Structure 1
Amino acid sequence: MVERHVKVVGLGAVSCLGNDWPSTWTGLLKGQTKASSAREYFPDFDLSTRVAAVPGLDRQLERDALGAAGRLGQMAMLEATGGHEHGFHIYGGTNHSESDILIELQAGVRAGRHRAMAGPLWDALHRDPTPNLISGPGLPRTWVQSACASGQNSLVFAAADLEEAAKQLRAAVVAMDALSRIGVIGFVRAGAVSQTECKPFHRDRDGLLIGEGAACLMLDNDASPKDSRVSLLACAMTCDAGHPTHPDESGIHLERCIRSAISKAGLRPDEVGAAVLHGTGTQANDGVEAAVVERIWPGSSIPCTSVKARLGHTMGAAGLFNCLVAVEALRSGLLPSTLNDRNAATLELDLVLAVPRAIDRSKAVLATCSGFGGNNVAALFGYRG
């Protein structure tokens, strides 16, 4: 069978920094952060929590129409695919999707409207949202829900299919999540939300910034050596299986995941030139991830970043956003900064601060992601003929 090299042929995104990938990337390079009170989006809830929201997003839930999460995914996928509606397989991921439908159902029951609305809303809650993301007939679809690792888990499945295929295939890997009352309240009650500002890998970090958005990678397993676009070199996933929400304190499963991806790519750790880390800004995640990086790259020998102080934690889309950043870092030679303070007191990492960092484009770039339930995913991107 012909060896297949999976190429990244399209990127798409919607975030608090812009309604497409170029504007999002520009905002990341400028170190922009856009956050506001959750009360602006949920006036019926007493939530003072800061969130990173997509301006102007239609948040209505209607029968036979996309909700906010679906609209985000549709926008990102149309950008990545160039508006094409045929000839590819969709791999989708989300954490909570349109979970606020449950609140709408409850409100309908209280108001005595449950008979009229329960059927349509339950249909919407159980329906796979991907058929509505793009209208092409007969598109194969694979849907993954594995907490905040959903998007990168979808990438793993797409990569496996593309690498093993006997013919040329194309795949759109898309992940999306919109702000949700249920999601926001859940993280607030878990004590995971920052009371000040999100500061990934800072010694005084106190939590995450809840965000929303969608990211999409268009992949092609064209094996032509003349194709000079960025390749998806390898993916790997593991599961701590130790706690519903906290990562394993030893980090051994995350470390095994990253080392597995490096090995699958046929590389050594010193052939990886940069890392886009999960970096949520929580005490547990950042401490474990920093310790793992130090074990694999002793002496802080690899530049690292996190984009969650900029975009917020976009839940199921977070891992794919990291992948988009990894691909664009290879294209541009620049790794966005994590924090705007060049003198920030950080953990023992070579963390990119204040301004973007030039990286060695001949080396691979790592993107990691973790999720509740102990899900860990690592993906490596680089140039390969």
Structure 2
Amino acid sequence: MNYSNAEIVVTGIGVYNTIGIHADSFWEQLLAGKNGLRKIDLFDVSEQRAQTGCQLTELLPSAWFASESETMGRTTRIVLPPIEEALLQAGLDQADCSGGKTGLCIGTTMGEIEPLEKAMRGDPNGQTGGPHAIAEQIATLLALQGPIWTFTNACAAGNFAIARSMDELRSGRADRMIAAGVDAMSWAAFTGFNSLRAMSTDACRPFDVTRKGLILGEGAGVLVMERRESAEARGVTPLAHILGYGMTSDAHHITRPDPKAKGAVRAMREAVAMAGIHPDQIDYVSAHGTGTMANDRMEATALREVFANHPTSVKVSSIKGHIGHTLGAASAIEAVMSVKALQTQMLPPTLHLENLDPACVADSLHMLREPWRGKVSLILSNSYAFGGVNSSIVLSAPQEGGVFHE
């Protein structure tokens, strides 16, 4: 059967981060302006310039695999509860996962890094580590029979997992896909960003003229994706549509984005073109918005070009002031946020944005500083990564899916 033009829908979402242990609580705290910042105590930060981050206070237990997960690393344990949450919302259980072509895409930056870091401290504990350990362990627990992927495209990895899941569904290789992004707070990442002097010593202020850098966070975001006809056959109402994606690479610099934003512009335009819509139809952009000058200004440059003729000024915000930069989890969490925005017809603000950087100002961009309520039908979600990796996805409300194609 040819599924190449199949409509791809989201039927379940799950999330876990420092302001929410499930999708609804996360959404409520976003709108309330909750900040998950605290002093890091997972490892010694006494000699670090920045010493705070959005670190989880405790790990949620797995509802399905409590005993099995006890021997797994921190990253796998973080992503298991939101996977279970998303599957349950999609009306799926363990038997459904093992009984058909259910696949898994994990996007991550550091992978299952905890065993390696413990070994470096002389504490080899026998846990399975490495980038692929997360997907391999979860696929074993759920007895998945579909394609299994791990993407380590740094901070764009979550969007890559969503894009690959869309491809697997349209190819017919999978009946449903679990698309997830996850990263745990790690000494290696924390020390690395500190050494780059890219981290703020107090708060993350995306697009603000007084910003000092990013704040690291940890967490996971999960979407259950399937073909619309499959969801309807199961009697499940879609939460949202995934209409398209764009992936490009600048290769401008190992860490610094291309200030001309050529790759970011192409990624957004490719996503919009695949969705079969026009940029002027986008209501809201979930910005990468890290709170570093180079990234914020690059993204603002890209947004100005793509939405130069937007009739009403496209709404823009970043949620990294709330939960920090969760690396490979960021775009997956932001996709979950986008689904909630489509459901509730509300948009979250950019926390700590008080004085907009003049370099990020444009008549076509409405940078949100407070929660916004109004019609939201089409969302573009951006995520960028070291090495010039650019990614964008387009989501729509269920009733809007497939009606904008030209």
Question: How does the TM-score come out when normalised to structure 1?
Answer: 0.89
Instruction: Provide the residue aligned with 1:42 in structure 2.
Output: 43
Unmatched runs of 5 consecutive residues or more in structure 1: none
Matches within 5 A, 1:224-239: 229-239=239-249
Question: Whole-Å Cα distance in 2 between the matches of residues 174 and 367 of structure 1?
Answer: 15
**Is the 1:239–1:374 Cα contact (8 Å) retained in structure 2?**
yes
**Per-residue CA shift, 1:334-384, capped at 9, x if unaligned?**
01000255x53342141110x2112423x3101010111111110000131
CA contact (8 A) 2:222 2:332 kept: yes
User: Contact 1:279 / 1:285 at 8 angstroms: preserved in 2?
Assistant: yes
For 1:377 and 1:279, how far apart are their aligned partners in 2? 13
Residues 1:93 and 2:107 are matched in the alignment: yes
- Report the alpha carbon displacement of residue 329 of structure 1 after superposing the two structures with TM: 0.9
Q: What is the Cα deviation at residue 50 of structure 1?
A: 1.2
Q: CA-to-partner distance for each residue in 1:218-262, whole Å, 9 max, x for gaps?
A: 001123797564100101100111211111111001100101111
SS of 2:121's equivalent in the other structure is helix
- Give me the whole-angstrom Cα distance separating, in 2, the residues matched to 1:64 and 1:340: 37
Q: Quickly say closer, same or farther: Cα 1:41–1:230, change in 2 above 3 A.
A: same
Structure-2 residue corresponding to 1:254: 264
Instruction: Quote how far apart the aligned CAs of 1:32 are.
Output: 0.7
Does residue 146 of structure 1 match 2:148?
A: no
| Equivalent in the alignment of 2:20 | 18
| 8 Å CA contact 2:111, 2:132 repeated in 1 | no
- The corresponding residue for 1:170 is 176
2:401 corresponds in structure 1 to 384
Task: Give the AA of the match of 2:188.
Answer: I
Q: Which residue of structure 2 aligns with residue 133 of structure 1?
A: 138
Whether the aligned pair in 2 keeps the contact of 1:257 and 1:376 (CA below 8 Å) is yes
User: 8 Å contact 1:76–1:215 — kept in the other structure?
Assistant: yes
Letter of the 2:79 partner, please give it: G
Match of 1:84 in 2: 93
Report the Cα offset of residue 51 of structure 1.
Answer: 0.2
| Match in the other structure for 1:357 | 372
Which residue of the partner structure matches residue 159 of structure 1? 166
Query: What do the CA deviations read for 1:11-69 (whole angstroms, capped 9, x no partner)?
Result: 0000000211111111101011021112x22247534521011121289xx99922111
Shifted more, 173-182 versus 218-227: the winner is: 218-227
Contact 1:274–1:359 (Cα < 8 Å) also in 2: no
CA pair 252-184 structure 1, distance change in 2 beyond 3 A: same
Partner residue in 2 for 1:275: 285
1:296 and 2:302 correspond: no
* 1:189-225 per-position Cα deviation (integer Å, ceiling 9, x unaligned): 0111012311001122110010000000000112379
Secondary structure at 1:182 match in 2: helix
2:335 to 309, 317, 323: 323
Retained in 2: the 8 A contact 1:144–1:150?
yes
Partner Cα distance (2:69, 2:28) in 1? 36
- Decide whether the 8 Å contact of 1:273 with 1:359 is kept in 2: no
Could you list the runs of 5+ residues in structure 2 that have no partner in the other structure?
62-67
Distance in 1 (alpha carbons) for counterparts of 2:201 and 2:144: 47
- Residue identity matched to 2:93: H
Q: Secondary structure at the match of 1:380?
A: strand
CA 1:129–1:266 in structure 2 vs 1: closer, same or farther (change >3 Å)?
same
Aligned to 1:244: 254
- Secondary structure at the residue paired with 1:124? coil
Is residue 159–residue 235 contact of structure 1 (8 Å, CA) maintained in 2?
no
Query: For each residue in 1:106-157, what CA deviation from the matched residue of structure 2 results, as whole angstroms up to 9, or x when unmatched?
Result: 222xxxx7xxx48x35x53375222323622243311111111111111111
Aligned CA distance change for structure 1 residues 159 and 58 (closer, same or farther; 3 Å): closer
Report what 2:64 is aligned to: none
After superposition, the Cα gap between the structure-2 partners of 1:53 and 1:299, relative to the gap in structure 1 and judged at 3 Å, is farther
Alignment-mate amino acid for residue 266 of structure 2 = R
Distance in 2 separating the partners of 1:84 and 1:52:
31
Give the 3-state SS of the residue equivalent to 1:133 in structure 2.
helix
State the secondary structure of the residue aligned to 1:129.
helix
Q: 2:228 aligns with which of 222, 231, 235?
A: 222
Distance 1:304-1:360 versus aligned 2 partners, 3 A rule: same
**How far apart, CA to CA, are the structure 2 residues paired with 1:126 and 1:230?**
29
What's 2:347 paired with?
335
Distance 1:4 1:138 in 2: 22
CA distance in 2, matches of 1:44, 1:209: 14
Structure 2 SS opposite 1:131 = helix
The number of aligned residues is 369
Match of 1:195 among 195, 201, 205: 201
The 8 Å contact of residues 247 and 267 in structure 2, kept in 1 or not, is answered as: yes
Q: Secondary structure at the match of 2:254?
A: coil
Identity of aligned residues (%): 26
Do the aligned partners of 2:10 and 2:238 also contact (CA within 8 Å) in 1?
A: no
**How do 1:200-215 residues align onto structure 2 when only pairs under 5 Å count?**
200-215=206-221
- Cα 1:294–1:55, aligned 2, differ >3 Å: closer, same or farther? same
Secondary structure of 1:11's aligned partner: strand
Structure 2 residue identity aligned to 1:99: I
Is contact 1:71-1:133 (8 Å) kept?
no
| Residues 74 and 114 in structure 2, CA contact (< 8 A), matched pair in contact too | no
Given that 2:214 and 2:325 are in contact with CA atoms closer than 8 Å, whether structure 1 keeps it comes out as: yes
SS in 2 for 1:381: strand
Are 2:380 and 1:366 equivalent residues in the alignment?
yes
What's the CA shift for 1:169? 1.5
TM-score, length of structure 2 as denominator length:
0.85
Distance 2:136 2:114 in 1: 20
CA distance 1:380–1:242, change in 2 (3 Å): same
